[in-house]
Amino acid sequence: MRLDGKRAIVTGGGSGFGAGIAARFAAEGAQVIVADIHMENARKVAGEIGGHAIHADVADGASVKALIALASEHMGGIDILVNNAGITHLPAFMEEVSEDDFDRVFAVNCKSVYLTARSLVPALKAQGTGAILNIASTAGISPRPRLNWYNASKGWMNTATKAMAVELAPFGIRVNALNPVAGETPLLASFMGEDTPEMRARFLSTIPLGRFSTPRDLANAALFLCSDEADMITGACLEVDGGRCI
């Protein structure tokens, strides 16, 4: 019960890493809001873990504002925010990625962090405590060709994490990030271009521990960084990558 009494929001909580984090948080005693643009997925996960589902488009300011207000009303406040929702563009040379794809990647992966902070930080400052966790990627540390603008968006998340941590530390708010390698999530095929045994083998050959990251891996790391056990850790961008970035 390492999160007993805590109140958490997990964006993109309806699938993949987000679903794993939401489940682990609930198992450790937290009230959990599963926020997702796909409500069927959100309701399914929330039903399984005893949480509550709320529709949210993290790239839209009004939707994020409503999410924070509804979550706070439902739980009586918010202690933890996990900015997990994210997308990528399909592998392509940088000059071939459409402007619409570029705008969508930066809206979901970057602008969302600004929007959630704008809506939530005042309340966290008022209570003098809180934890924000941004789910970035090894792509932001060790970029790979043909995912250029996705790489850049995740590098932005790591820098934003450190900048947020420095500014919010005097208010008792910690901000950290996780950098997973590709995992068994709905985005895997997009990262690889196609999901075939050959592509999987090629990708796995770049991971020293020889496997993809799993929702359980991310959930374990997220649990630690969002718990009081990590109350001296802020601005950390932890690699959960099986050695991919070595």
DSSP letter string, 24-85: HHHHTT-EEEEEES-HHHHHHHHHHHT-EEEE--TT-HHHHHHHHHHHHHHHTS--EEEE--
Can you give the pLDDT at residue 190? 66
Is 191 part of a structural domain of the chain? Answer: no
Give the E-state strand segments of the chain in sequence order: 7-11, 31-36, 52-55, 80-83, 130-135, 173-180, 237-240
Q: Which two tokens stand for residue 84?
A: 């997990």
Can you give the pLDDT at residue 202? 85
Is 139 part of a structural domain of the chain? Answer: yes
Domain interval for residue 97: 7-185+214-238
Can you give the pLDDT at residue 52? 98
Is 244 part of a structural domain of the chain? Answer: no
| Number of separate helices (H) and strands (E) present in the chain | 9, 7
Is 198 part of a structural domain of the chain? Answer: no
Is 157 part of a structural domain of the chain? Answer: yes
CA distances from 229 to 17, 103, 154, 225, 226 (A): 21, 37, 26, 8, 8
CATH number of the domain to which 171 belongs = 3.40.50.720
Can you give the pLDDT at residue 186? 66
- pLDDT tens, position by position, 88-105: 999 899 999 999 999 999
Is 199 part of a structural domain of the chain? Answer: no
Say how many domains are in the chain.
Answer: 1
Is 146 part of a structural domain of the chain? Answer: yes
pTM of the complete model beyond 0.85: yes
Beta bridge partners of 174: 131
Q: Phi/psi of residue 10, each to 5°?
A: -120, 110
- In the predicted model, residues of the chain with pLDDT beneath 70 are 185-187, 189-193
Catalytic positions, written as ranges: 150
- How far apart CA 71 and CA 98 sit, in angstroms, is 35
Q: Which two tokens stand for residue 105?
A: 């990647």
Can you give the pLDDT at residue 193? 66
